[in-house]
Each structure stands twice: as structure tokens, then as C-alpha cells.
Structure 1
């Protein structure tokens, strides 16, 4: 049976590869929600809006998440979706062929390269004012991130969010007679608890925790950027990165049992040992995991707690990793496109996706509390995703994507976790390779 995709960018994030709510006084007449008068005017227009994303989402997935709801709200709009497939439909191919794109969306990680580097970026500031979109309704770190990306301009709106929490296998905790983790734990407390789950039994190496390696960098709670935008140099060889890697990667993986499991798996354990093999007790992921791995998660008893916090950063959780929808400079009817974005960020639509299991970008507590309430796994602790404070989203840049800095940082993590490379050598090597890649980029 064909499996529906809820967004490749989100799946990637959830699997360790790679994806909120309004103020109270706005609930009576939310400024950011699509008003009846505006929607009536928009519905009378006949407009074609063409959507594109780097996510490779199928048309079925696009329609399920966005297309059908937009068509229902705006019956006179023709909504066209171009699925990214290789070859021939990558973004640059489409642009070079003269294909118009009205609304483009991507995760925050790929947005600088897909939107800004491709010169599709359009400052939506005046449109947002014209259509009375209240940016105060959004989780503030998301809007701050958009302003940082645009140097003050706003190139898009965050429509859905991704944030990490800790999934744990209750059956495995019970089997090994270890108490469950709790919301609000520090990494020191969490590591002390989960090391009790590094047990070999009946020939199976059970392990307590394994990190999602990309997330170590992309959503770190210190808001550390991958590169310094001022100097265009790597940031990796620093005490703060060293502390983070020591706490969240090295300390949890030094058990002989984990090392045996890693040798058998041939790399740092990731999502599969947790969700499919059920021999990893805890793994960090986003709210989309129950959507993309419904079958796997139906096979055992699990729940969620907040991500542990660093001892010197109490109460601060991981960064957000939102999905951005942007009106492009190619858009023929920017007012119609803004009406759609206004609808996608309305209380109405955000409540709908929250109930289904997608994390809202708004700060409305009612919408937050509805997360997953109509999904397949009702009653899970979805509040864990909102438990800790949001840190600033680290600066993003086109250069870090073009130089593939994340891949250079994760390149030697298997050696670091297995003890084949010490932390200082890892940091120095990653720094040298990243700086060379950035220097080479300048020469192009």
C-alpha cells in the first residue's frame, strides 16, 4: 500500500537526518486569521497559484496537508502543485525553463539556498501590513528568524513547526525495571537514568539513548550557528560545541554495551533501532514521527518527555525547525497568494493541523494543547514539545548550505563516538575542513 508522505524535510528531521499558538485576547477576533470580508473578496477572484517545494512531497501529500483545505476555502482558486522529481523538476531547472512559482515552501535548513540563493525572495512586509497579518501571534523566535534571514525583510511565514522531544519505549523500561524519564530533566539526570538501560540480555544489546546526529547541530539549545556570518569561518572548535558533544554524544555512548551495538550497526544508532527493532530505549524526534511511522509505533508502548536541558541553560529546550511558506517575486497575484498564507496561519487552519499532529507556529495555548488530539495516538504527552522555553534560532546562511557544513561536522562523529578519534582532534579536523570549504566557495 502506498504510504503517504507528511513532508520529506520533516521526515528527515524526525529520523535524525532531517520538519504554535495565538494570544488570548485575539481569540475573539484574531487579527491574523482570515476575516469573512477578506475571504469573500478572495473567493470571487479566479486565480491560479503554483506551489513548489524541495521536499519531494507527493501530490497526494500536498493535497492532504494544504491543497484540499485551500481549495475549500477559496473555491475559485486553481491550486497547482509541482512535485520535485529528478531529473527535470529541480528548482533551478524550473526557473531556467521559465516555469512560474507563486508560493514556495521549505524547511528552514534549505530555505536560504532554495529561496534566497535562487533569487525567488520577495519582501512580504508591505503585503503583511496590507492584509493585516499580525506577526505578534507567532512564536517570537520564528519571526525573529525570518527577519534575520532577510536582513530585516520578511521573505516568508512559518506555517508548521518542528521541535524535538524525547520518545521512550515504556515496554523496554519495564522489561529492564528502570523508572520512566520525566519532563524537566537535565542531561546529567537523563544520562544517569538511561545508562541503566545499557544491558545485554538473551544475546540482544539494549541501549538507553542515542542522539540524532544532525539535531546536535541544527537545533542545539545554545543557538550556536554552524558558521560565523561576519568572518565566514567555522564555529565548531569552541568550548561550547565541545561541551555539547561531550554531554549529548560522548557520555551516553561510552558504555561497552553501546559500543557493541554500534559495532554491529556500523554507525551511531539512529531511529530504526528505536522504532523498528525496539532495542534502543530513547530517541529524540519531532511531533511528525507518529505520522510517518504509525505502523512501527503501533507495535509497542511508548510516550514522550521534554528534551533534557543543559545544566548551565536551565529550562531552555531545543531550537525550532519550522517550515516556511514564501510568496516569490514571480507571483502574478501576490494579494491572492497572501490570502492563502493568511489562511494557512489562521487559528482555523492551525487548529486543524495541530489536532492531526503537526506542531503549530502560533503561541495560542489552546491550539498547542490540541496537538495530536485527533491522531492515531491520543493521550500521549504531546505537551513535552512545548515544555521548555524556545531559544533563539541560530543564524542561517546561504554559504553554510552551499559549503555543506553540516555534512562536514557530522562526517567523523562515528569515529568520535567509537573512540577512534578524540574530541580535540575531531574539533580541529572539522574546523579545518569547514574553513577550506568556505574558502573554496569564495573562489567560485
Structure 2
């Protein structure tokens, strides 16, 4: 879900080049507002002439048809959608004047597209077409607004991320330990991990491992990584120290250690080797059927939470849809996005394993109903926790900063370095990267 980042300097150069190219290719395309001037409270008339919109997205054609095309067709039959794969890079699409009408990415990516002057402000379209934003979960909408600059609405949220703790029931049965439960804290999970880390029959069983992406980039404590007022790192403090120490302690359990080769590579150990008792990750639905056939006896519980934030999962960083500022069909692109927010479309989204973003518990409870492997399992564990509020500061430097944080956490785990030293280094590296980007 989250791709590997290049160096900050290279990233800044790409952004600058793309931004300049965009400014050149978008001259003369000043239609940034919906056409017409409907009376107050009256929705703008919809043009029903057939139109084909392009959508930049990273998903299979089957998923695209199911989760993007079909919801739009249900409401607006005149709108057709064609996917442009993410193998086509945005800077190249800008340079060739072929930017898709709609861009699919994460909420955290909004500052990047604003930097490229590629994210259309959707506020005028919301008013023109009477879209009721009150139907969207306040936390989700607030996260999008925080990521957008200057009071803009630079995209519409369509789905949320799902981070869970999966566990191997057979391993717990083997050691006679009760299964994990919804609502556990990280401290409780740590104690359980110690019990489940042992050697049996010559096999080393590990109590806990996790995929670190969401645990940092959408952390449960809503910690900012860069101060938007000063554009300086905001990581060398007690709260980030607690975050680092919380996750690092799992790798100090005898038998649960990692090295440079095994760090971050535990998905196969959970799915195939079946030697990890508990594994925290985002959706792995596509890989579970084969694991199930291979004998994995699993279930899921809510993501463990911090004692000071009980029942809170990660921040929302799910699917966002951005209308390109270069699109010649902005009205229709906006209508396509609004169709994805209808009750019917959101039920469809939830049933197929993506968290709905509407403020309706009944729709949330539809989660996973159409996913065969979730039947007779704790599918509602995906939606029982509440998402963490957005970080108070979201900047265009966050992506590079989070890459540094994850690299530094790995260094701390592998070298057993002092957390205070690691956080000081992290702050220095982030500030250096920001300074280079600003050049």
C-alpha cells in the first residue's frame, strides 16, 4: 500500500520538474469552477452526455471494475472509467500532458499533489452539486481537510485503511494459551507475545511481529512528524520515544529477535511457515485463501491500543480521490467521486473489504460480508476500534520524514542503540532532508 521512497533530494527534483511542466501544460485551462451558476440551495444540472474518464490507480482490473466502475455506473450510466496503472509515473504523465482525470492515492499524499498544483479544490463542486459532507465520518473528513492547505478540500475520501492483528489459532492451541481478544492494549499483547515465543519440536515459534508502515505513518497517538509552523522535525520528544520503545521491546524477547535479513519479512512466516503467533498488518485478504488451503488456521482481533488511547486504531490514511486540475471533465469527475460516496456504493465497498467512510454504523457493519475467508471469523474486529484523530500538523515533507523514521527504528532494533540517541539522529536527518528539499 505504501511504496518505497527515493531520496529526498531526488524526490524534490522530480516534484520541481513536474510542477514546472504542469504549469506549462495547464496554461489556458482556467476552468477551475463548475459550469453555470445555480441558485442558492439548487443543485447544478447534470450533463448526461457520454464521457470517458481516466483514473490513475494501483489495483487489478477486476478490483477496479468492482470497486470503482460499478459504483459509478449504478448512479451515472453515462460515465465510463478507464484505469491508468501506476506504472505510468505522474511526472511523466504531466510532461506528456496526459494526466488522468482522477487520481487515486492515500490521504497523506495530498500535499504532494498540491505541490504539483495538480489537486483541484473541490469546495465549489460540493456547493454546486449539493453534496452533503455531513454524511462522511467527521474524523475522516477532518483528516482530509488537515492534509489539504488553506482551507481547501483537495480530494474526497472513499475508503479507510484496515490494520488488524491476525493470529494463528493452532499455535495458541499447541501451547494451551487463550486466544487474543478485541480491545487488548499493547502491554497485554507484549505479555502474550512472551508466552508465545518458545521452541517446540526443534521449531522456533515467535510471539509477535508487525509491518511497521501504518504504525508510524498513521500512528495511533496522532503524533506529528514535522511542525508545519517551523518546518522542523517534531520527533525528539517523550511521545515519539514511547512509540519507539513500545514496538522495539517485542524484538528484545529471547527467541523473537530479528536481524537485517529477517526484519520486516515476516508475512511468509505467518502465512506459510505458520511460526508466528500474532502478526499486525493491513489487509492481506488476497493472500489468505492460499494460506487457508495450506493449513493456516487464523482469526483476527482489533489492533492493540495504547492505554492512554483505548479502543483507538491508526489514523485514517485510506483511499482518496483527487480531481486533476488539468481535467477537461471536472464536473463529471466530481460526480463520479460523489457516486462512490452513495450509501449503495459504500455498502459495496465495505462488503468487499474496505472500510466505509460514511458516518453510519450500519454501513460499517457490512464490512467483509462478501469475502469468503472472513465468514465465521471476527470480521467486525476491523471496524470496532475508532480511527485516531489526524495529526495536528501534516506537511509535504512528511513522506520523506516517515521514511527516515522507519529506517531509524530498524537501526535501533538491529543495533540495540539507545532510543534517545536514535531520536536525536532522526531529528537531524529529517531537518537535513527538509533543508535539501527547500533548495
Bucket of the pairwise TM-score, normalised by the shorter protein: 0.7 to 0.9
- CA change 1:264–1:399 in 2 (3 A) is closer
- Residue aligning to 2:28: none
- Residue aligning to 1:29: none
Q: How is 1:98-109 mapped onto 2 (pairs within 5 angstroms)?
A: 98-109=97-108
CA distance in 2, matches of 1:379, 1:77: 38
- Residue aligning to 2:79: 77
Alignment partner of 2:388 out of 373, 388, 391 = 391
CA distance in 2, matches of 1:320, 1:412: 24
SS at match of 2:438: helix
CA distance in 2, matches of 1:61, 1:374: 13
SS at match of 1:290: coil
CA distance in 2, matches of 1:222, 1:215: 12
- CA change 1:266–1:183 in 2 (3 A) is closer
- Residue aligning to 1:90: 89
Q: How is 1:197-216 mapped onto 2 (pairs within 5 angstroms)?
A: 197-216=196-215
CA distance in 2, matches of 1:301, 1:308: 21
Q: Any conservation in 1 of the 2:143–2:316 contact (CA below 8 Å)?
A: no
Q: Any conservation in 1 of the 2:215–2:314 contact (CA below 8 Å)?
A: no
Q: 1:240 offset after TM fit, Å?
A: 0.4
Q: Any conservation in 2 of the 1:318–1:390 contact (CA below 8 Å)?
A: yes
- Residue aligning to 1:239: 238
Q: 1:42 offset after TM fit, Å?
A: 5.0
- CA change 1:269–1:48 in 2 (3 A) is closer
Q: 1:344 offset after TM fit, Å?
A: 0.5
Are 2:289 and 1:294 aligned? yes
- Residue aligning to 1:410: 406
- Residue aligning to 1:218: 217
Q: How is 1:30-45 mapped onto 2 (pairs within 5 angstroms)?
A: 44-45=48-49
Are 2:363 and 1:367 aligned? yes
CA distance in 1, matches of 2:323, 2:208: 41
- Residue aligning to 1:33: none
- CA change 1:307–1:205 in 2 (3 A) is same
Alignment partner of 1:284 out of 261, 280, 284 = 280
Q: Any conservation in 2 of the 1:210–1:269 contact (CA below 8 Å)?
A: no
CA distance in 1, matches of 2:252, 2:127: 54
Alignment deviations for residues 245-268 of structure 1 (CA, whole Å, 9 cap, x no partner): 212x22211112112xx2495325
Are 2:312 and 1:316 aligned? yes
User: Structure 1 stretch 298-307 or stretch 319-328: which is displaced more?
Assistant: 298-307
Are 2:129 and 1:125 aligned? no
SS at match of 1:266: coil
CA distance in 2, matches of 1:421, 1:325: 41
Q: How is 1:330-345 mapped onto 2 (pairs within 5 angstroms)?
A: 330-345=326-341
CA distance in 1, matches of 2:406, 2:176: 34
TM-score, normalising length: structure 2: 0.84
CA distance in 2, matches of 1:270, 1:164: 16
- Residue aligning to 2:56: 52
The count of residues paired between Structure 1 and Structure 2 equals: 398
Q: 1:407 offset after TM fit, Å?
A: 1.9
Provide structure 2 residue ranges, at least 5 long, that are not aligned to the other structure: 5-42
Alignment deviations for residues 274-302 of structure 1 (CA, whole Å, 9 cap, x no partner): 2222111111123x321354322443111
CA distance in 2, matches of 1:67, 1:323: 15
Alignment deviations for residues 313-353 of structure 1 (CA, whole Å, 9 cap, x no partner): 23332212211011122222322222211110111011112
CA distance in 2, matches of 1:78, 1:320: 29
CA distance in 1, matches of 2:260, 2:204: 10
- Residue aligning to 2:271: 275
CA distance in 1, matches of 2:153, 2:357: 16
CA distance in 2, matches of 1:80, 1:268: 35
Find runs of 4+ consecutive structure 1 residues off by over 6 angstroms. none
Alignment deviations for residues 338-378 of structure 1 (CA, whole Å, 9 cap, x no partner): 22111101110111121121211112111111111121221
Q: How is 1:352-363 mapped onto 2 (pairs within 5 angstroms)?
A: 352-363=348-359
CA distance in 2, matches of 1:72, 1:408: 43
